[in-house]
Amino acid sequence: MDAGIVSALAALAGSVIGGMTSLAASWLSQDFQARAGQLAADKTRRQDLYKDFIEEASKLYGEALTSDKAEIHHFVGLYAMVSRMRVLSSPKVIEAADGIVHLIVDTYFAPNKTLRDIRQLMQSPHSQDIDPLRKFSEACREDIQTLRPA
């Protein structure tokens, strides 16, 4: 074979390999960026859902402590959020959310609390009873921290 042909084939092969390498690197980079974007969107979606649930559950729990007149339409939103969590979240988060909903319902059937009763609850050795969202919040933090790029 002529040295000129070998040189031309080597140059052509080098160009093809360089082009393929560049294409592969570009594709991998775009794939990584797309996954990172999807992960960020998923994380934001979960954070918003958890925030909304905490706000609504806090309001309902506060109302349940001092009243026995439950408004059913308030529970619809809470149940809708739990159902959305069933699609997006870990079983631990769902279990904690279900527990909060049951606690709120049970609290409506318990005797109403005065401000003095609530203060005594806060000072008791079982003061975690006044913060029923703690387990849920911790489960949410764990759930969000597991969302890391592969």
Residue 137 counted as domain residue: yes
Query: Looking at the domain assignment, is residue 2 inside a domain?
Result: no
Q: Is 118 exposed, middle or buried (0-12, 13-18, 19+ CB in 10 A)?
A: middle
Residue 74 located in a structural domain: yes
* Beta carbons of 109 and 68 less than 8 angstroms apart: yes
**Is residue 99 in a domain?**
yes
pLDDT for 130 beyond 80: no
Single-letter amino acid, residue 30: Q
Q: Is 120 a member of any domain?
A: yes
Structural domain includes residue 11: no
25 assigned to some structural domain:
no
Q: Is residue 111 part of a domain?
A: yes
What digits encode the pLDDT tens for the residues 65-98? 888 887 888 889 999 999 999 999 999 999 999 9
**Domain total of the chain:** 1
